[in-house]
Structure 1
Amino acid sequence: MKLKILRGGSIGILSQVVLCGSLLWAGENNTAAQNVAEISLTAAQVQAAGIETRQIALSPLEDRLVTTGEVQANGYTAALITPRIDAIVMDRHVRLGDQVRLGQPLVTLFSVEMARAQNRFINLVEEWKRVQSLGRDIVSPKRRQQTESDYREVVALLKAYGLSEADFEKLRKDKSLDKPGEYILYAPQAGTITADDFLVGALIPSGDPLFELADESTVWIESPLSAREFERVAGARRVIIRGETFQGEAHIVTAHEKLDETTRRRKIRLQVDNPGHLLHPGLFVDVAFVMSGDSQGILLPLEAVVRSPDGDQMVFIRDDDGGFLPREVEVQQTLSGQYQVTGVEVGEEVVVRGAFFIQSELAKSGFSIHNH
């Protein structure tokens, strides 16, 4: 590797000394004010260091609207677990925050109505078998029809009350009850218990929620926007979600047609994949709507911008003879994983990969691009 320091301006007599692996100062007969540090590498060294350059061009700048949003369960993948008849909670089998699988027991309930239906079913099972065994010659069509109707009715009643298919088959097979009136509610899907506001021993009216079960592999985020903001984000190209431990991209699902009477805002609903279940209902996150803007600027990859020896931000420009010149830049903002910068010109060739390697070689030289 060759390091060379060029001192001087565009005119004057320049003398330089190049030494592999070291830095020598060059004298000159010019009074120009600016000092320039140039790092020269062979083609093999450039390839080994993975250095890549590209010609600077103007790019469209993004227009962003940053606001907040509240994480909610995906209503299409969530379920409320409720008793279908008034029932007393005998035992809970899961707790808030538990991950449950499909068919896992959630809660044991007791209901007088269920006990009556279970006993009636046991009696009708025996009656229906007796009618079938006697045959049509002995049993009148009316009695046969009535028995079959009663049997089918109580079967439908048990299932409507919430008796699972497996427990129903067990009752039909055993024709006996260890604990009349008790039955278990099972998870209708896999997911996370996100609500369970009840106590063991409480009487739960029919339809009142026992659990809220949410599949958190995807969640909704609702963000309230003013009418002007809503029109602005309608054509958003991307939506970026950031939380304390989460960053990802969402997409717009729908927007509320009616204004909130209190805030006079419209809510826009987003859906985001939630690997690792880092987002939970009730959390607030930052929401950035990214739209195409009308202005242009210079955008560079984050790794193209490094720190100079005195702490300023800089890039490396490749000059006509293949050397790399440090150039101070100012970062205006970060857009979609890129820096918008000033201090470089369209058409110049900038290092976009491998700048850290060149930076380390500059640091070894102890040379400041300010010549402090």
Structure 2
Amino acid sequence: MDALAADSLTAPFSAESFDSGAAAVLILGGGLIGLAIAHQLARRGQSVLVLSRRRSEAAGFVAAGMLAPHAEGLSGPLLDLGQRSLGSIPGWVAQIEADSGLSCGFRPCGIVVPFRSAAERDAYPTARFGLALDAADLRHEIGGIGAAWQAGLLFDQDGQIDNRRQLMRALETACVALGVGFQEGSEVLELLAPAGRLEAIRLRRTEGEVVTLPCRRAVLACGAWSARLLPGLPVQPIKGQMLSLQAPRQALKRVLFGPGTYLVPREDGLLVVGATSEPDAGFAAGLTPQGQSQLEQGLVSLLPEAAHWPPMERWWGFRPGTPDGLPLLGPAEIAGLWLATGHYRNGVLLAAISASLIANLIEPGASGDAALLAPFDARRFGRPAPGDQLGRATGLGSASATV
């Protein structure tokens, strides 16, 4: 299945007509991060409009949904941010479920990381947060694991959420229930920011009409496409391919996070296998034999019996990457514009805290998060050269972004 087929996994929007001119905050991007911010702002009484060209391209529709700051071996500010977000997810999920009446598919099932030796296990960056497993313990946790794996770490605090089939739908429904407006099929063409302050946005609607929306506050959450609206923004697409199998129910009770391949078992037995990381692929569409072979080989190495389980889907998408692997969270060089992008492979994990942090920045007097946000300020890469961020943001270019 290609990325566009993700539409079949969620209910279509049924939002009522929304007066865009009345929106106090525009969210540029209808993926997981954009929806999470829209939901948080709406809960605080803000008027919000989400602009989205093609929701199915959003990474939130194609990611595996791991909540794994410890299992992934994160470090430094990203580990701190991930741990804070992980701790907030139960309450965040409860809010979404209360507002939508739908389950988000949250499962704090724990994650096992296998190793070929105890020495490798003990050297893992986050080993201090996990329970050390010897070979017998590992096989007790993961029945049928490949013979090469002789040790492991159990991170009982990590888990997963079914973002593709449940979370995205619940979040969309919650936003609609709170009065968030949506313009599906809207292609943002330009940010109009004379004198460095956001005043309006030009966009092309589905029928081809180009309109200008007055706007003094907006959030750029376009994922891998973010740099198309702000040239010079250090965000690039990192392609990922995935597949899924139908396993026997309860064949795998915990997520298994191996080197280069991970297995995420859903409650109904669906097993999500991910993921390639292709930084040189750009926006090249489609599956590749090499990528799918990599996934299949990794799967069999971790769990040989899975080779006999029936295949279900194959798909691909684009993660938003940055040079240092950290997201961009905070104000842009354009006054009135905030950045929430570059989450790479941690968008699902960081959605909850990203929404809270950005909402705090937008609400006057609400933010006390300066120290937490400092490592994720876009200015860590240096200020853009004069005109770099404003060239297309003032009508001097013709770039557009998939939002």
- Please state which band the TM-score falls in when normalised by the shorter chain: under 0.3
TM-score where L is the length of structure 2? 0.18
TM-score (norm 1): 0.19
Q: Give the structure with the larger helix fraction.
A: 2
